Amino acid sequence: MSVVERIDARGLGTTEAVEVAKRLRALAPGGETVAEPVARIVADVADRGDEALLQHVLRLDREGGSPAEPLVVPDHELDDAVAGLAPELRAALELAIANVGAVARATAHEDRDVELPQGQLVRVREVPVRRAAIYVPGGRAPYPSTVVMGVVTARAAGVDEVVLCSPSDDPVLRAASRLAGADRVYRMGGAHAVSALVHGTESVDPVDVLVGPGNLWVQEAKRQLSGRVGIDGFAGPSDLAVVADADADAELVALDLAAQGEHGAGSLVVLLTSDPVLADAVAQRLERGVGGGAPAAETGAAYAIALVDDAGAGLAVAEAFAPEHLELVGPTVEPLAEGVRSAGCLFVGPGAATAFGDYVVGSNHTLPTDGAARFASTLSARTFRRTMCEVHLRDAAEALAPAGAAIADAEGFVVHAASMRARQNGGTA
């Protein structure tokens, strides 16, 4: 029996496209809830500070490791990690840092002045937060690419102090943090680390923004504390949708889908095509394994192929699905790129593999998941910046006072109205 779900979505309209997208989303099982135990850990660290934090670090992060290891990784360990990098890996990390930085700087806007007819000036300012933290999971493998995506982007935003938090002792991760420009690296992870970074402890200063992926405990802690700190969103399992026509290369499409499936349990990969031949060829490759990877049945990911009427129908399903990553492949599909609104990151053409976006192309791989691309954005400099207005009324106060006071009167705010009227007639009420 095939492990690749096959869906016939031909002959469906726009409304049905939404239902197909829901059916695709349902293929990825929902996660367990850890809200209560996370709340206890968060509160414990908030109440008892370093004492609680170190207890959780020893119990959950170090698994019996030395309590003498400091929370903050010393500078000499970071320098040693850089010195120990293989030359080709260092060059690769520096390329990724340069490209991610260039794209991130393009998302940081200069102040804009708006001159209005009554004579006032409103300056729209973007200002960086003072402190930001990048969470990098330990998990089954280190993720130096996540270090690059977070630290470099925060630096491009102009954040004063950028710290990194990870339970991993991996030297490549530490070297990446040094090359990317992290000010400090904390040797901790989990919900307790999130609480420490948000509330602050004797050893950990609180931050204004906290971003980065992590397990369910980390994401739940971020969710619970999102009212106290800026976050990038709830990072769920990864997903990819590929819309491809008959001219797409089945091997390349299968490689891209399998690469996303490599993220493991909960990941969701989808092919939308009008060509049954391509659908069969891709399914066969996924089921036997491609690119040296495991067969689909052994990855824990969910795979689906939906047959649609044409490229436009495929895009309609993709838009309703709102994938983390979206690939458009083939001459009838690629021209539709301008119409895409609901994707975390869009890759156009057979050469634009999603895997490039995970590492070196310059776009950020911290993206909205689980359909959040309908309203959420990629990690960018703007994640670490906030917008504020600076108002200069000049001589406009007198002109604006009657209108403002009239609205204030209608709302019953008599002192608001008086405050504005006091600016009339040369500053007298």
Give the architecture-level CATH label for domain 4-28+237-363: 3-Layer(aba) Sandwich (3.40)
Active-site residue flag, 110: no
Residue 1 binned pLDDT confidence (cut-offs 50, 70, 90): very low
Tell me the pLDDT of the chain averaged across its residues.
Answer: 93
Q: How far, in Å, CA of 21 to CA of 83, rounded?
A: 48
Catalytic residue among 324, 327, 334, 365: 324
Task: Taking residues 97-115, report their average pLDDT.
Answer: 96
CA 312 to chain centre: 28
Write out the residue limits of the CATH 3.40.50.1980 domain(s) in the chain: 4-28+237-363, 35-232
Q: What is the pLDDT of residue 429?
A: 43
**What pTM was estimated for this model as a whole?**
0.92
Task: Taking residues 262-281, report their average pLDDT.
Answer: 95
Q: Which CATH class is domain 35-232?
A: alpha beta
Active-site residue flag, 324: yes
Catalytic residue among 56, 325, 334, 365: 325
Task: Taking residues 141-162, report their average pLDDT.
Answer: 96
